Every structure is written in C-alpha cells, then in structure tokens.
Structure 1
Amino acid sequence: MEQIVNFKKISEYNDFNNQETLHPLISVVHLENAAPRQFRRLQYDFYTIFLKQIKCGDLRYGLNNYDYEQGTLIFLASGQVIGDHKDEYYQPQGTALVFHPDLLNGTSLARNIDDYNFFSYAVNEALHLSDQERKIIMDCFDKIEYELKRPIDKHSKKLITSNVELFLNYCDRFYDRQFITRDDINKGILERFENFLNGYFTSEKPYTIGLPSVAYCADEMHLSANYFGDLIKKETGKSAQEYIQNKIIDVAKKKIFDHSKTVSEIAYELGFKYPQHFIRLFKKRVGHTPKEYRSIN
C-alpha cells in the first residue's frame, strides 16, 4: 500500500526541508534549501501555501495534474494530500508559508479563515500572479519572516497573524482579478453550466438522481465546488444554488401549464422527493403556489 508522509507539526516539515524552526506554529520555508527527494504523497495537518517561482514538474492533487509555472500560488487546508509516488527524484524550489490552526486562536483571522474559499480549490485552479503581484506576496512573506526572526514579545502574535491575514486578503483580491482576466474562459463555463442544466431537466436524471446539487454540477464542470461557486457568483451575481433554483423555477413554470399533470407529478419530474418542498420553493420565488400560478395565467 502506498505510504503517505504526514506532517503533524510545523517543526517536522521544517526538518524535512532543512529549515530552522523559529516558531512552533508558523514558518516561511525556503524549499531550495531542501535536499533532492523522491516524489511521494504528502499530507499536512496545517495550512500550506506554495509559491512556485520556476517550472518544477508535475504534482498530482486528487485526480488532477498541474504543471507549476513561475509566480503560481497553491493553497492547501489542513488535512489535504498532495503529490504522487514516482521512482524519481527532484529538487524542490520556491517558498512555502505554513501555519497551524492553533496559531489563529483568539485572533480575528480565526473568525474569518473559512471565508478564504481558495483553500479548497483544486490545483488546476491555482492563482497565477503578475510580476507586481508576486512582489507584493514576497513582501508579505518577508514581513512574516522578519517577525519570526525577532525575539518573541507581546506584539509578536498580533503582528504575525495580521501579516498572514494581509497576505490572504491580497490573494483574495488577486483571485478576483483572475476571475476578471479569464472572463472568456469563465463565460464558456457558464454557458456549459446552462446547457448542462437544460439537458439535466429534459433527461431521466431528476428521477434517478434528484435535484442537482452545487457539488454535482461542479464535478460535471470539472471544477472544485468552491471555485465553481465563486466563479458563478462573480459572473452572475447569484450563488450557484440560486442559479440552479432559478432554473428549476423556469422549468416548473413551463410544466405547470400542462394541466394533465398534477403539482405532485411536476415536483417528482423536477427531482423533488417531497411535493411540499417544491411548493414551498415555488411560492418563495414566485409569490404564488403552483396551483395559484396555474389559475392566474
């Protein structure tokens, strides 16, 4: 059985990369200092961000391969696995920011960390930086490292976590820019999503699968659920769930005019397990129950 190398502590990851441990809960790791090592699957019990500054070969994450290019950031939440097992060796390059969830206890970042959806994006949804953006990211790393090299005092934790939060906020901004600059690609995904929903509700899938979830649709688009949701929100102003529900209502309105079908039959055709759930959603969105809508139109 393939072995996964699991790093539970920041110090373990530092040792793995020939890096001095300056703080037990956070480190800026210079990967070029590590010895050449064999490709293998790695798991981190802490947040991990890689900044790859040169092309350094394929890494496998989930079912996706990704070829890192210069100025690319990838984010991993605690517990995620990355890498692939090969009988080959490589020299790590770039910089990694790693921090344990315990670092955030009692800070504003602890309350906001789940808002950074990019920690659950797939590798092929990485953040590609411009030269100017890369300089800003490196400046954030330098500020964090500066604090780590100072003697710990009463200001240390606040300044370290504030700089981590600043870094994450810049990444949030840069992802917004990436969604905009890849607008043509995003519109292609939106068009595929619309076509997928149209095909879904004219097939037998509502009977066999039920209502399409956001995760199911994202998988069909070959995207992670969070990236897909963020993309739809930025393109349409609606959440992916709202978009799906709007499609359900549009299809339902057309079906309601077929007086040979009962409201319950229409609900089952759309994928609802219980007709009352359909009635509740329809009234919430349209302002009338399906029967009322049928009678006034």
Structure 2
Amino acid sequence: MNTKKIHFSDLREYHSFLGLPDPEHPLFSVVAMSSNKTNDTKCDDRDITLSGDFYSVSLKHITSGEIFYGRTKYDCKNGTMIFMAPKQEVKVVGLNVKSTGRTIVFHEDFIRGYSIKDEIK
C-alpha cells in the first residue's frame, strides 16, 4: 500500500485541505469541528503522512483507524491529544474522527523572537 504524503506550507493550505475558508490571521488559527455536524471526518482508506510548517495542538475523539509516529502506533480509543512541531510527520491509516474536536495551529514565525521558541521542541 502506497503512502500519500501531504505537507502544508502555511495555514491557508491546511484550511483549504479541511474545506475551510482562509484563516483570519495568517500565522494563528483555531479550527473547530462543529458538534452540529452529523458526519464524522473520515480519511482515505490508504495511508496518509501529514506534516506542516507550523505547530499544532489537537484534541479529537478518534473512533477508528490508527496513528503512527515513526514506527510507534498510538492508542486513541479514549480521545486523543496530539502535539506536532513544524516538519514533524504523522501517519494516519483509515482514520475516522468524531465531528467534535479542536485544533490550535500556529506558524513557527508567530513565536519567532520570543523565548518560548527555544523552549518548545
């Protein structure tokens, strides 16, 4: 099975991938998956490797599928909090996410010049 790789250079590309309008700020965004939606979000059945030029903190309820960081498979049955750094890759296989969840994304330029830039890895 071939793995499809998707890299997001900026938040606008990430929003477009999710079918959302452009973010209000080019370097910072909070993405909310509305609980009003009746449809869950389902990735393709094939493997997808995702990465971006930004940090993300996601809180999601994954109902099925698998998440891999490197060769490590993570158990996501009781809700999941996912942290990603710029250029970090995560592989998802057959992922199905409940229609409630939040993701905070911010470009690495958003924290450039602040001490936190050197403290988070």
Scaled to the shorter chain, the TM-score interval is: 0.7 to 0.9
Matched, 1:48 2:56: yes
Deviation at 1:78, TM superposition (A): 0.4
Q: Which one has the bigger helix percentage?
A: 1
Alignment match of 2:66 (pick from 51, 55, 58): 58
* Aligned equivalent of 2:6: 5
Distance 1:9 1:57, change over 3 A: same
Quick one: higher RCO (CA 8 Å, sep 6+), 1 or 2?
2
Structure 1 residues 36 and 27, CA, compared in 2 at 3 Å: closer, same or farther? Answer: same
Structure 2: give runs of 5+ residues left out of the alignment.
none
Secondary structure in structure 2 of the residue aligned to 1:29: strand
Q: Residues 57 and 36 from structure 1, CA distance in 2 versus in 1: closer, same or farther, beyond 3 angstroms?
A: closer
Give, in whole Å, the separation in 2 of the partners of 1:95 and 1:36. 16
**Contact residue 63 and residue 96 of structure 2 kept, 8 A:** no
What's the % identity of the aligned pairs? 31
- Whether the 8 Å contact between 1:55 and 1:67 is mirrored in structure 2 is no
Q: Which has the larger radius of gyration?
A: 1
State TM-score, norm by structure 1: 0.33
Matched, 1:67 2:71: no
Alignment-derived partner of residue 116 in structure 2 = 112
Normalising by structure 2, we get a TM-score of: 0.73
Structure 1, unaligned runs of 5 or more: 120-297
Distance in 1 separating the partners of 2:4 and 2:31: 24
Q: Does 1:82 align with 2:90?
A: yes
Runs of 4+ in 1 over 6 A off after TM superposition: none
Q: Read off the aligned partner of 1:37 and give its amino acid letter.
A: C
| Structure with the bigger percentage of strand | 2
- Per-residue deviation at 1:99? 0.3
Cα 1:114–1:73 shift into 2, 3 Å = farther
